[in-house]
Amino acid sequence: MKKAIGLCCLILGFFSSVAFAKQGLPALTVTQAIDGTEQYSVTMEILLIMTALSFIPAMVIMLTSFTRIVVVLAILRQAIGLQQTPSNQVIIGISLFLSFFIMSPVLEKAYEEAAVPYIDEKINIMEAFDIAKKPFQEFMLIQTRIKDLDMFAGLAGYTQIDNHESTPLTVLIPAFITSELKTAFQIGFMLFIPFLVLDLVVASVLMAMGMMMLSPMIVSLPFKIMLFVLVDGWNLVIGTLAKSFGLS
């Protein structure tokens, strides 16, 4: 990591020295602190922050509860039989704001422990990153299955990890995503069952009445919507999703 950052600094420093040769303004500087750590100039920190912003969509999808929520809602729409209702924009919007609700304790902890000291110039950007990632690691470790964690650790060549808290992000993130997909499909399967039973009942009734040419989906769709509304389905689904992350 340090070698990559150093290489980027070297390349950027070269181009900046050429660009600002006449003005004499260095684009970035890297200084060695007394304790041996490296400190970057404000220009370099801004560059790193702007680079990190491009990864925000991937971080929102892969490091939070977003994946589980959006998959469950998509399966629910398919189970009811509504192809475009709610629309993809509505599902993504619900998933996004519900993810913010679920992740709010993690975000607040990262902000208070990392962002605030960095803004007050008590720590540098690398220290802020190391502190900010810890709440996300704790959240992902709670939601990740040990089986998935051990599988990716073995694939990465880690023969032994002292404790799961020291698992590198390169192993933890894919293990977390795999666990989230499995959990989402388990919840989706439980949601699919009552609607499937209703489809079978409607199909059996239509066959008994000799109405072979009438599609069971056309008849069962209003009943599935009515059933979902009568049991307050949105409250149950969203409440179950929130509680599946440990919210009481």
Biggest CA-to-CA distance, the chain: 90
- Cα(172)–Cα(178) distance, integer angstroms: 10
Per-residue pLDDT of the chain (248 residues), as tens digits, is 444 444 344 333 433 443 433 444 444 555 555 655 655 555 666 766 677 677 777 777 888 889 899 999 999 988 888 877 888 899 999 998 998 899 888 888 888 888 888 787 787 777 888 888 888 888 888 888 888 888 888 887 776 665 666 778 888 888 899 999 999 999 999 988 988 888 888 888 878 887 777 777 777 888 888 888 888 888 888 988 888 887 66
pLDDT of residue 244: 86
CA 30 to chain centre: 33
Per-residue pLDDT, 164 = 63
The string of pLDDT tens digits covering residues 75-109 is: 998 888 887 788 889 999 999 899 889 988 888 88
- Identify the residue whose tokens are 């694939």: 155
Say if residue 219 is exposed, middle or buried (CB neighbours under 10 Å; 0-12, 13-18, 19+): middle
